[in-house]
Amino acid sequence: MKKISVSLSGHRTSVSLEAEFMSALHAIAAKQNRPVAAIIGEIDAARGARTLSSALRVWILQNKI
């Protein structure tokens, strides 16, 4: 598991993802030329009742390069 700390809506939080998901998230961010934190913020805002880690995994699978 890899952990990343980000600031969401003015508060710091951390997310743990498997190394493969974290690598994919960084690759997608690089391809889209966007900061990882911005992507996580958008996912957080739209995730509904899912945990942030689960929402990230689903988003990564949907956006896999």
The tens digit of pLDDT for each residue in 9-42 reads: 888 999 999 999 999 999 999 999 999 999 999 9
CA distance 55 to 33: 21
Q: Identify whether the C-beta of residue 47 lies closer than 8 Å to the C-beta of residue 15.
A: no
pLDDT band at 65 (very low <50, low <70, confident <90, very high): low
Instruction: Show Cβ contacts of residue 34 under 8 Å, excluding neighbours closer than 6 positions.
Output: none
pLDDT of residue 64: 85
Q: Identify whether the C-beta of residue 42 lies closer than 8 Å to the C-beta of residue 25.
A: no
If you average pLDDT over residues 44-51, what whole number do you get? 94
Q: Identify whether the C-beta of residue 6 lies closer than 8 Å to the C-beta of residue 13.
A: yes
Enter the pTM of the model: 0.90
Give the CA diameter of the chain: 30
Which of the pair, 32 or 64, is modelled with greater confidence?
32
